[in-house]
Amino acid sequence: MKVGIVGLGSYVPERVVTNADLEKVLDTTDEWIRTRSGIIERRFAREDQATSDLAKIAAERALKDANLSPYDIDLIIVGTNSPDMLYPATACLVQDKIGAKNAAAFDLQAGCPGWIYAATVGAQFIKSGMYKNILVIGAEVITRMMDSTDRGTYVLFGDGAGATVLSTVENGGFISSELYADGSLAQYLTLPAGGSRKPFSEEVLKERTYFTKMDGQEVFKFSVREISRISKKVLDKANVPLESVDWFIPHQANLRIIKAGAQKLGIPMEKVVVTIDKFGNSSAASIPVALDKIYREGKLKNSDKVLMVSFGAGMTSGAIIMEWSK
Ligand code: UT7
């Protein structure tokens, strides 16, 4: 049985925040941000928007694209690192917002590879025969998890949501997936407070540990290594030669990581999808948003081979190789 994407949709908030805007509030420069990260602008959600609101819009677009009703959905999985609240799951809020009355719902937290992990998990439910149509969403209002006084993180992130409907397909679809985690590196990218380890307190407020803490250089090294390692692994497993990959969609964290990773893997930049200049790092949303972008632009052709790879908090990484057919 083959499983693939039968519907695709995304949403990024309308508010554009440029590097010049950030220069006004932080000790940073447009030049530093551009040369160190490749980011020119990013999107910030409106104050009244939370992750489920962005996910709802992307999900409705994906359902329309799949020509399915919300009642046809059996399961919703939201990959996110910025849920509306600690519980209930954002997926349950999305289920209610889109009226998917027949769907079970849960969140999957796997750092930036959240959508890769969730799509891999969703595909197993279909292969096992348990469910037919699954909404897999990567959605974030991750900018709310960032400290507006920390120039090392605040300038890098943006909000967005990408949604995919998975179902059985006659041709193409997912060829293979690979998932990886190394929890011994957890400290390099973490939001330390607000959970059971460090509940909210005056100390937490003072330390600002309710915001993301990142060791940028360690994350950088892990990311470049993982892009090539896990991509090679998934291609080997699928028996797909690197040369036959038509589109390479890496997680959009830093243009330097993307270029170094693509070079290490041996894939030319013409095949690499880049959105970081416009959207920054939207964490678990970055891959489905980038996929939807090339789909809407009419660039994805039937039987194109698409390699998607991501890395992030955990530390985790994940890759999917698929053949596009829709
Ligand atoms: O989604 C997955 C998670 N994230 C990532 O994958 C991010 C991975 N890491 C990175 O992308 C890069 O490490 C960063 C973009 C975060 C930083 O780039 P870098 O080349 O590793 O810079 P750095 O951390 O070594 O900092 C160099 C300098 C420092 O100043 P000093 O100590 O040399 O005087 C920083 O304080 O740049 C300074 N700096 C800034 N300057 C202006 C850090 N952030 C800024 C800033 N504006 N926004």
Pocket flag, ligand 1, residue 37 (CB < 6 Å)? yes
Length, in residues, of the chain: 326
Pocket flag, ligand 1, residue 28 (CB < 6 Å)? yes
Mean pLDDT over 191-206 rounds to 97
Mean pLDDT over 167-183 rounds to 97
> 97: buried, middle or exposed (CB in 10 Å: 19+, 13-18, 0-12)?
middle
| Side-chain-side CA neighbours of residue 77 (13 Å) | 24
Pocket flag, ligand 1, residue 325 (CB < 6 Å)? no
Q: Whose CA is nearest to atom 8 of ligand 1?
A: 220
- 145, 120, 135, 5 alpha-carbon torsion, rounded to 10°: 120
The answer to whether 302 is a known catalytic residue is no
175: tokens are 């060829």
Pocket flag, ligand 1, residue 282 (CB < 6 Å)? no
Q: Whose CA is nearest to atom 29 of ligand 1?
A: 152
Predicted confidence (pLDDT) at residue 294 exceeds the cutoff of 90:
yes
- Distance from the alpha carbon of residue 281 to the mean position of ligand 1, in angstroms: 14
Mean pLDDT over 79-97 rounds to 98
Which helix (H) or strand (E) covers residue 227, if one does? helix 216-238
- Distance from the alpha carbon of residue 291 to the mean position of ligand 1, in angstroms: 27
* pLDDT for the residue 40: 98
The residue type at 130: M
Pocket flag, ligand 1, residue 259 (CB < 6 Å)? no
Angle in degrees, 0-180, between the axes of helices 286-296 and 114-127, rounded to the nearest 10: 80
Q: Whose CA is nearest to atom 44 of ligand 1?
A: 152
Backbone conformation region of residue 213, classed left if phi is above 0, alpha if psi is from -120 to 50, else beta: beta
- Distance from the alpha carbon of residue 19 to the mean position of ligand 1, in angstroms: 15
Structural domains of the chain in order of their starting residue, each with its CATH number: 3-172 (3.40.47.10), 175-323 (3.40.47.10)
How far is Cα of residue 306 from the mean position of the Cα atoms in its chain? 16
Predicted confidence (pLDDT) at residue 195 exceeds the cutoff of 90:
yes
Residue in 142, 185, 189, 220 to alter for ligand 1 test, most ligand atoms within 8 A of Cβ:
220
Closest CA to 316 of 283, 291, 292: 283
Q: Give the active site residue among 81, 92, 133, 251.
A: 251
The residue type at 303: S
The answer to whether 281 is a known catalytic residue is yes
% the chain with pLDDT above 70: 100
80: tokens are 């996110």
User: Where residue 12 falls among pLDDT bands split at 50, 70, 90?
Assistant: very high
* pLDDT for the residue 1: 87
44-72 pLDDT, tens digit each: 999 999 999 999 999 999 999 999 999 99
Are the C-beta atoms of residues 323 and 300 closer than 8 Å to each other? no
Pocket flag, ligand 1, residue 81 (CB < 6 Å)? no
The answer to whether 251 is a known catalytic residue is yes
Handedness of CA 153, 154, 156, 161 (dihedral sign): positive
Residues 117, 284: Cα–Cα separation, whole Å: 10
Residue in 26, 32, 36, 214 to alter for ligand 1 test, most ligand atoms within 8 A of Cβ:
36
3-state class (DSSP) for residue 154: helix
115-163 pLDDT, tens digit each: 999 999 999 999 999 999 999 999 999 999 999 999 999 999 999 999 9
207: tokens are 């330390």
Closest CA to 198 of 182, 207, 189: 207
227-252 pLDDT, tens digit each: 999 999 999 999 999 999 999 999 99
Q: Give the active site residue among 19, 112, 133, 254.
A: 112
* pLDDT for the residue 326: 82
* 282: phi then psi, degrees, rounded to nearest 5: -100, 30
- The overall average pLDDT reported for the chain is 98
Which helix (H) or strand (E) covers residue 312, if one does? strand 305-312
